Amino acid sequence: MASPRRSYAFFGCKVARGDRVTLPTEGERTLVLKQAALSNPIIGSTSLLIHTKSQTAPLVLCTLRPGCEQSYITAVLDEDDGAVLEIIDGGADAVHVCGVHVPRPTHMHL
């Protein structure tokens, strides 16, 4: 049986319009966000934003629109980031976000 520290775990959440979703922390694992997708067809565009403790302004992870209902993203987050997701603009009711919790490296190679 693999130790919890070495295992990977799927992550998924739904970011609804008007809500903010605080991303969970998993102790000795790092969260890697990989993909975002619209929950329903829209007119216009909807942006997925991320707020972190280290940024004064939110960052746009992706913008989804007709013809581009899914987006690959790469955001590597640590528990110290205090990351929160939200959506703005457009008519999407929600954006689904998925990723994976991965083991945190025990040392860095330079």
Q: Which residue has the tokens 């980031």?
A: 81
Helix (H/G/I), strand (E/B), else coil: 81: helix
The token pair at 21 is 């979703």
- How many CB atoms are located within 10 Å of the residue 95 CB? 28
How many Cα atoms within 13 Å fall on the side-chain side of residue 60?
Answer: 9
Q: What is the pLDDT along the chain (110 residues), one digit of tens a residue?
A: 445 456 889 999 999 999 999 998 877 788 999 999 998 877 889 999 999 988 889 999 999 999 999 999 999 988 788 899 999 987 788 999 999 999 877 655 54
- pTM for the model stands at 0.84
> Cα-flanking dihedrals φ and ψ of residue 38, to 5°?
-65, 145
β-strand partners of 86: 49
